[in-house]
Chain A
Amino acid sequence: MLSEAGAWQALQQVMDPEVPVLSVCDLGIVREVSSVEGAVEVTLTPTYSGCPATKVIEQAVREALLEAGATDVRVHTRLAPPWTTDWLSEDAKTRLRAHGIAPPGGQAGVHVLRFQPACPRCGSRRTEQLSAFGSTACKALHRCLDCREPFEYFKPL
């Protein structure tokens, strides 16, 4: 029978389809997990209102839990409090950097929207923004002026 701890463990393996180095737990979108005799209820908080990955993530969560032995899976959506990049763990930020994505600079809402993230490849602070929106709404497109590599920046939200 799948316990609550077992369910959390299974969820650690569910990766964000758009940022595949982060699990749904790393992202902080899993707000609550409960298990009653193997029937699991999961509460998720969406990242962006229009994030096209939301449905895919829900489906992946369901499949992972059933695979891990859940007898039934219910996925709830909760909007409040709204998701924030402040919920990303330090470990998640390190892995983002290793994946070539600069992690959010500063606290969401407190920081200025314009920010010069350090290049995730060479560490240089001499970078510039190319576009406020990258391949997904959650990222901006930047370029390093030293190593000349383009990179994405996970925007604080």
Chain B
Amino acid sequence: MLEPRVEYVLRLADGALLLGQRLSELCGHGPVLEEDIATTNIALDCIGQARLLLALAGRLEGQGRDEDRLAFLRNEGEYRNPTLLELPNGDFGRVVLRTFLYSSFLDVLWPALQTSTDADLAAIAAKSAKETRYHREHTADWVIRLGDGTDESHRRMRDALDALWPYTAELFSKDYVDDAVTRDGFGVAWATLRDPWLRSVEAVLAEATLARPPDTPFLSRGKTGVHTEHLGHLLAPMQHLQRSHPGAKW
């Protein structure tokens, strides 16, 4: 078991890395040129944030693992991302909805982490908060446009919401990691962010004429290293080069 602060930072780092990787899949495949560019720019921000967070996790761990080793040489079970971020993209509606749901979460998390007792984490949070606002704003626009669009786009957004909503519960589930990091002011318990997150998300869903799906008992557990079969398929192409040619440099 890793030290709670390392676990806590890895949850954010791996979430950022996988969202960045998923969004990168649209590079050259976006529905229109502008959106192709926007999606990949958001992906770049995510990967930039992931690098800072992975480097911090490595420093906290103190075992000499740098950002590259953590990204490219860990197996599925060592990943700590919430499951939401490893799910396949699906159609464009689902892509923007996932980024919207998660960046709305980060939009309330980063400001809270700016007062972390860890100066590095506070600095990363302050920097990322500014970028995340744009990600949320942009994807909220799409959620509204597609939700309150044609019958077809509305139906697809409703399907996307039904598919992704159950995975948001994990963002707010509490365990020993939250308890440990809140004790010394290193982090905030994600569970405490559920209300502000709901308010922020529901305002956009209402404008998009989308009803919030009912909560279910389902709880994904990616944060604890229990993943879906999709993660391995995501990591294989991402890690292939470093696995086949260890230490290869660009």
Contacts and interface: CB of A to CB of B under 8 A. Distances in A.
A132 B131 contact: no
Contact of B45 (A81, A83, A108, A137): A137
Contact of B49 (A49, A52, A80, A157): A49
Interface string A96-132: 0000000000001100011000000000000000111
B101 to A, nearest CB: 18
Contact of B41 (A81, A83, A108, A133): A133
A50 B46 contact: yes
A133 B120 CA distance: 28
Given A49-B128, A80-B123, A157-B130, A130 B34 contact: yes
B238 to A, nearest CB: 16
Nearest to A137: B41
Contacts of B112: none
A50 B45 contact: yes
Given A130-B34, A134-B37, A135-B37, A79 B138 contact: no
Q: Is the interface of A mostly helix, strand, loop or mixed?
A: loop
A76 to B, nearest CB: 13
Given A131-B35, A135-B37, A52 B44 contact: yes
B14 to A, nearest CB: 16
A48 B44 CA distance: 9
Interface residues of B, number: 31
Contacts of B70: none
Contacts of B46: 50
Interface in A41-77: 46, 48-52
B127 interface: yes
A131 B44 contact: no
A152 to B, nearest CB: 12
A52 B250 CA distance: 14
Interface residues of A, number: 27
B123 A48 contact: no
B137 A108 contact: no
Contact of A131 (B37, B45, B131): B37
A45 B26 CA distance: 29
A124 B148 CA distance: 31
Given A48-B131, A49-B52, A136 B41 contact: yes
A155 B231 CA distance: 35
B130 A109 contact: yes
Given A82-B123, A108-B130, A132-B137, A49 B51 contact: yes
Contacts of A131: 34-35, 37-38
Contacts of A134: 37
A51 B119 CA distance: 22
Given A49-B49, A50-B45, A79 B123 contact: yes
Nearest to A49: B48
Interface string B51-93: 1100000000000000000000000000000000000000000
B235 interface: no
Given A80-B123, A82-B123, A82-B127, A50 B47 contact: yes
Given A48-B48, A79-B52, A113-B133, 14 more contacts: A46-B48, A49-B48, A49-B128, A50-B20, A50-B47, A50-B48, A51-B44, A80-B122, A82-B123, A114-B137, A131-B35, A132-B137, A133-B38, A141-B34
